[in-house]
Amino acid sequence: MRTTGKHLKIFKKEFLLWVEKFGLKEYNCFFHHESLELTNSSNFCCANLHVDDNGKTATVTLATDLPSYATLAFIKTLAKHEAAHLLLRKLVWLGKCRYLGDGELQNEEESVVCRLEKVL
C-alpha cells in the first residue's frame, strides 16, 4: 500500500496524542514521509523513530510503502508503537550504560510507571 499525505496526517495526530498521554512534552517532534530500509526482523519497515537526546527532538518517519494489509487502524498502531519507543527511550539508554549512578534505573522505572498509570 502506498501511503499519502492523508496517512501521514493521521499518523502524526495519533503519535502526538500518545506523546501527550505519556507526558512526553519535553520533546519537539518532527515528521517525515519517506521510503524506509527493510529490517532483519520483517519484510517491511513501516515507521521509525530517531531521537536527539541533547536537543530533545524526536523525528518520526512513516514509510511511503506499507504492507498490502495496512489499514488506518494499522497506521494508528504504528504511531502508538513509535510513541512507546519514545517513552522507553531513557530506560533503554540507561540499560546500555556501563555504569549507573545509585538509583538511576529505579528512578526511570518509577517515571515510566507513573506515566503508564495515567493512561492504563
Task: For residue 41, give its domain range.
Answer: 5-85
In a domain, 90, yes or no: no
Residue 28 lies in a domain: yes
DSSP state of 35: -
pLDDT at 77 exceeding the cut of 90:
yes
Give residue 38's pLDDT: 64
Over range 70-74, report the average pLDDT: 95
Q: Do residues 110 and 72 touch, judged by C-beta distance below 8 A?
A: no
- What pLDDT is recorded for position 46? 94
pLDDT at site 41: 58
* Mean pLDDT for the stretch of residues 23-33: 96
Percent of the chain with pLDDT over 90: 75
Q: For position 100, what pLDDT does the model report?
A: 84
If one counts the domains in the chain, the total is: 1
3 vs 97 pLDDT, higher one = 3
Residue 95 lies in a domain: no
Domain assignment present for residue 103? The answer is no
49 pairs with which residues across the strands? Answer: 60
